[in-house]
Amino acid sequence: MTDLETPVATPPRTGALRRAAPALLGYAAVRALGLITLAVWSAANGKSAHTLLTARWDSLWYTRVAELGYGYEVRLPNGDVHSNLAFFPLLPWLERLVSALTPLPYADAGLLVGTLASLAAAWGIFAVADHVYGRRAGVCAVLVWALLPIGIVQSMAYSESLFTALAAWSLYAVLTGRWLTAGTLAALAGLTRPVGAAVVAALWVAAITSFVRDTPSPRDTSYVANRSAPHPDGAPAWRRALGMLLAPLGAAGYVLWVGHRTGGGPLGYLDVQAQWGNGFDGGYAFARFVGDKFTSFPSALAGLGLVVGVALVVWLYVTCLRQGQPLPLLVYAGIVTALALCASGYFGSKPRLLLPAFPLLLPLAVALSRLRTPRSALVLGGVAVASAAYGAFWLNGTGPP
């Protein structure tokens, strides 16, 4: 058997960083190329790369939460109110903590948190892919994630990298039977972004499946029911149950707090999001947005690109199913993808919202890992240059709303 054909055992903690080192070094190199390209491109356009990374769009809202707390609002001419209650608190909490411990202002603290979180996310993605498909696939998975066209977001003062790190390590903990760790990280993911529900669902499905698997058959006379008996992964039932209880506390706690603060009840957070134009309509608004692109020739090319992009995402998920990915990864990726594609607003943000759905990239990572090293290096190098150029162009233009 080759390393790719069978999952590897969990490496000892002392060797985990050494095992992940090629992936992390490759990730750092890709991100460095992207940042250097952004700096050169921005300078040529008379813009500040630092400002683009720390003081635009969502990063400004997170900074205001860190500096002023919750309660800041912007009232639009049409009467809509954009409240900073829409932004979950973990990233601004960390910005405030880092700023208190260092001379960094909140914006730069957010950039530092995002940078460190992106490395933690890369390591978590490697750990998951290594566990399921082997080390070589793990390295390729990290590089593919780094090379995404909107990968520059991983280096911004945004919450995507922080969320992906918590999600990846929570999923790894589920796969390796560390239920309390998985539940704690899922709770923190739920304090980071609304899509933290996907991590909770993945953990719950895995735990419930394990309980069902443990339930004795009426014909199994050799089984003695014992609630404290350990699961085959070594975790007793109470640890799995406690992990399930911990997982939703972050998201549920913040959503309920927002509902209480706004007077909107348990679902008051949805009203806050609705003011921003966000909601879940099953993809109807997005389908109309794509359809409207075909009303004229120039925009029809953009519409065709969107159709191809959505088809690629669906194909990748179907491939994940056919490859037999572990159920927690399928549940997580499926929910992240559904929430991203079926949201009713901010259509330009959908590629960014898909950034945490790293299990979708595992089929590509497996395919790359089967190539000879020179060929895979040539492919990855060419994509790295193109991705760096696109990221610099994108961030100097419309960027991630």
Residue extents of the structural domains in the chain? 18-215+233-396
pLDDT score, position 379? 94
β-strand partners of 74: 82
Helix axis angle for 90-101 and 58-68, nearest 10°, is 60
β-strand partners of 81: 75
270 contacts 212 by C-beta, under 8 angstroms: no
Tens digit of pLDDT for each residue in 96-129? 999 999 999 999 999 999 999 999 999 999 999 9
pLDDT score, position 8? 47
Q: Which amino acid is at 156?
A: M
Question: Counting beta carbons within 10 angstroms of the beta carbon of residue 395, is it exposed (0 to 12), middle (13 to 18) or buried (19 or more)?
Answer: buried
Q: Quick count: other Cβ atoms within 10 Å of Cβ 399?
A: 18
What residue has token string 């639009």?
76
Q: Using CA atoms, how far apart are residues 214 and 381, in angstroms rounded to an integer?
A: 47
Q: What is the largest CA-CA distance in the chain?
A: 77
Q: Which amino acid is at 93?
A: W
Q: Using CA atoms, how far apart are residues 95 and 275, in angstroms rounded to an integer?
A: 26
Q: DSSP letter at 397?
A: T
Q: Which residues of the chain have pLDDT under 50?
A: 1-10, 221-232
pLDDT score, position 222? 41
Tens digit of pLDDT for each residue in 387-397? 999 999 999 99
Helix (H) or strand (E) holding 74: strand 73-75
- Chain centre to alpha carbon of residue 39: 25
Average pLDDT, the chain: 91
DSSP strand pairing (81-83 vs 73-75):
antiparallel
pLDDT score, position 217? 54
Q: Write the CB contacts of 38 (distance below 8 Å, at least 6 apart in sequence).
A: 49, 52, 53, 152, 388, 391, 392, 395, 396
Cα angle: 310, vertex 313, 314; to 5 degrees:
90
Tens digit of pLDDT for each residue in 311-361? 999 999 999 999 999 999 999 999 999 999 998 888 889 999 999 999 999
Q: Quick count: other Cβ atoms within 10 Å of Cβ 297?
A: 7
pLDDT score, position 14? 52
pLDDT score, position 230? 43
Q: Using CA atoms, how far apart are residues 297 and 289, in angstroms rounded to an integer?
A: 15
114 contacts 161 by C-beta, under 8 angstroms: yes
Half-sphere exposure of 25 (CA within 13 A, CB side): 6
Q: Three-class SS of residue 83?
A: strand
Q: Write the CB contacts of 217 (distance below 8 Å, at least 6 apart in sequence).
A: 223
Q: Three-class SS of residue 347?
A: helix
Q: How far apart are the first and last CA of the chain?
A: 47
